[in-house]
Amino acid sequence: MADEFLNEVSKIYSINHFSIYGISQNPDTKVYIIVLLNDYFNVESEKIDDFIHEMQLKINTYYDIIFEWIPYNQFNEIKEISRVDSVTLYSSIWKDGPLHYDESKLKYTRISDKDVALKCFNLQNITDEFLNMVRTCSINLCNIIEIYGISQNPDTKDYIIILHNKYFDKEFAKYCVRCGKIYTDIQYKWCKLCQIKKFTNWTSGDEKIDDLIQEMQLKINDSSDIVFEWIPYNQFNDIKEIDKDQKILCRQAW
């Protein structure tokens, strides 16, 4: 039994152990099977469909973008442009292309072979944070960060935001590749919100201390500011007493 299969079982169980009954094996093909609750995939699909419907209800004019679910096999010539943490940006060609209202025919047609930007997130489940990020994008062609829809890579299960190809313009160098909001410090491509989120995977074991540390971190306003944090005692070497009443001098190991 492959480790990949076992890891998938463990992942599903950790996310929602009420949805998995067990595992089995086809005696003829020897293929292993994960036995799931029959609506395991419906919950995710229903959430996506509801969100797409929500975005489509924002349409107010004939030139607004029709937000939609775009099958991953619609994308050709996928090329990686940049990678930051769990977000990867690609250029691609959308074969069928977006819907466009033809005024002469009084109906929607598609603009084939459309150049688009794919913003791929290492995210196997739709989260509220992801959906809120999509909501910040616009379906109006006159606004910044225009969005065509969302998709999912069937191999990696990563979710993808499909954006207008002008996302690669120099103008967008001032927008954070993770959250899409303007950088706190444009020169150094520094986003306060995203950087602070990086420092949440720790705990001192004391709620009051943790609250104080988070309060101090929220005061950061510049990429050169010191990041106030909880530092484990085992990080200190060469500890030497200087003054019992004043301070201790030591060399930090990290």
The total of other beta-carbon atoms located within 10 Å of residue 161's CB is 23
Domains and CATH numbers, the chain: 3-36 (no CATH), 40-182 (3.30.200.20), 207-252 (no CATH)
Query: 160 by DSSP, 3-state: which?
Result: strand
The model's pLDDT over 195-210, given as tens digits with 9 standing for 90+, comes to 777 666 567 778 888 8
Q: Can you tell me the mean pLDDT for 246-254?
A: 52
pLDDT of residue 112: 94
**Sequential DSSP letters for 133-150:** HHHTSBSSTTSSSBEEEE
Q: Could you tell me which of 104, 109, 131, 129 has the C-alpha nearest to residue 50?
A: 131
CA dist., res. 170 & res. 172, Å (int) = 5
Pick 131 or 249 by higher pLDDT: 131
∠ CA 102-105-107 to the nearest 5 degrees? 60
The model's pLDDT over 81-106, given as tens digits with 9 standing for 90+, comes to 888 778 898 999 999 999 989 988 88
Given a contact cutoff of 8 angstroms between Cβ atoms, the answer to whether 137 and 145 are in contact is yes
If 0-12 CB within 10 Å is exposed, 13-18 middle and 19+ buried, where does residue 240 land? exposed
Give the global pTM. 0.59
Q: Is the dihedral of CA 147, 149, 150, 153 positive or negative?
A: negative
pLDDT surpasses 60 at 250: no
Query: 253 by DSSP, 3-state: which?
Result: coil
162 Cβ contact list (under 8 Å, min separation 6): 70, 94, 116, 117, 118, 119, 147, 148, 149, 150, 151
The model's pLDDT over 19-36, given as tens digits with 9 standing for 90+, comes to 677 888 888 888 888 887
